[in-house]
């Protein structure tokens, strides 16, 4: 009835639209972080044509043999283990950022801010804390990745693959990692915008509460 219509109207508000944008950005951060983690690595030779590198690059690494093949496998595994904690941390942050706006959308649909206007002040505070906390989180993410790429493991791995004519093993940030950083900046700006909209809505609710006869 009318209650259901009022709940659906929340989804058309500016705050709800901003929250849905935050959901989308968090989902993209989660995807980019998982891509950054990549595969478990490992040299794929002719006896193992079903390996992930075979499908990713269109052919098995038949250029390696003997000690070079074993060294390539060791470097791949070490490089993967070095990046794994960073990718897992980024995925955890992305997952939290995905759940948070979903909860706020549900809270808005249930009209909790109307019954408890103080909730909007709490929501505004959480927005600001997350937006400010995103800055050091992005710094840690990019700084940690650059430390991995500047390590001797990555340099040796890059030289080994280049010596066999293989490309795509450069020690630099790739597209998914750069995209995750940019999406994090966009998410921080979206949270600041949501904080402003929350303050505006708090004032609106407070004014309407003072004039119940006009509702």
What is the mean pLDDT of the segment spanning 59-71? 64
In a domain, 170, yes or no: yes
What is the mean pLDDT of the segment spanning 184-206? 92
Domain that includes residue 176, residue range: 2-39+84-147+163-211
Q: Which of 71-80, 170-179, 190-199 has the highest mean pLDDT?
A: 190-199
In a domain, 10, yes or no: yes
Q: What is the pLDDT of residues 140-161, one digit of tens each?
A: 999 999 999 999 999 998 888 8
Stated pTM of the model: 0.80
pLDDT of residue 48: 40
In a domain, 122, yes or no: yes
Look at residue 56 and tell me whether its pLDDT is greater than 70. Answer: no
In a domain, 202, yes or no: yes
In a domain, 49, yes or no: no
Token look-up 């280049």 returns 162
pLDDT of residue 170: 83
Task: Specify the higher pLDDT residue, 194 or 52.
Answer: 194
| Arithmetic mean of pLDDT over the chain | 81
pLDDT of residue 205: 84
Instruction: Provide the domain count of the chain.
Output: 1
In a domain, 201, yes or no: yes
pLDDT of residue 58: 36
Distance, C-alpha 150 to centroid of its chain? 23
Q: Angle at which helices 67-109 and 118-149 pack, to 10 degrees?
A: 170
CA distances from 214 to 114, 200, 201 (A): 16, 20, 18
| b/e burial code for range 118-132 (CB count within 10 A of at least 16 → b) | ebbeebbebbbebbe
Task: Specify the higher pLDDT residue, 44 or 125.
Answer: 125
Contact 7, 110 (CB under 8 A): yes
Q: What is the pLDDT of residues 13-27, one digit of tens each?
A: 889 999 999 999 999
Residue 53's pLDDT band (boundaries 50, 70, 90)?
A: very low
Look at residue 102 and tell me whether its pLDDT is greater than 90. Answer: yes
In a domain, 157, yes or no: no
In a domain, 48, yes or no: no
């Amino acid at each position: 009835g009318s209650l259901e219509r009022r709940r659906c109207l929340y989804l058309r508000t500016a705050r709800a639209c901003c929250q849905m944008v935050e959901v989308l950005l968090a989902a993209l951060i989660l995807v980019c972080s998982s891509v950054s983690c990549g595969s478990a690595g490992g040299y794929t030779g002719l006896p193992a044509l079903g390996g992930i590198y075979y499908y990713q690059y269109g052919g098995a690494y038949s250029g390696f043999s003997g000690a070079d093949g074993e060294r390539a496998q060791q470097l791949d595994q070490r490089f993967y283990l070095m990046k794994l904690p960073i990718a897992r941390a980024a995925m955890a942050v992305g997952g939290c950022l995905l759940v948070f706006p979903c909860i706020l959308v549900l809270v808005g649909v249930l009209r909790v801010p109307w019954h408890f206007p103080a909730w909007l002040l709490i929501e505004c505070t959480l927005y600001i804390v997350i937006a400010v906390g995103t800055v050091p989180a992005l710094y840690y993410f990019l700084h940690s990745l650059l430390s991995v790429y500047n390590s001797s493991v990555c340099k040796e791995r890059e030289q080994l693959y280049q010596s066999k004519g293989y490309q795509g093993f450069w020690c630099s940030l790739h597209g998914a990692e750069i995209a995750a950083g940019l999406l994090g900046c966009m998410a921080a700006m979206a949270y600041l915008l949501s904080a402003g909209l929350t303050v505006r809505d708090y004032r609106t609710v407070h004014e309407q509460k003072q004039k119940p006869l006009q509702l």
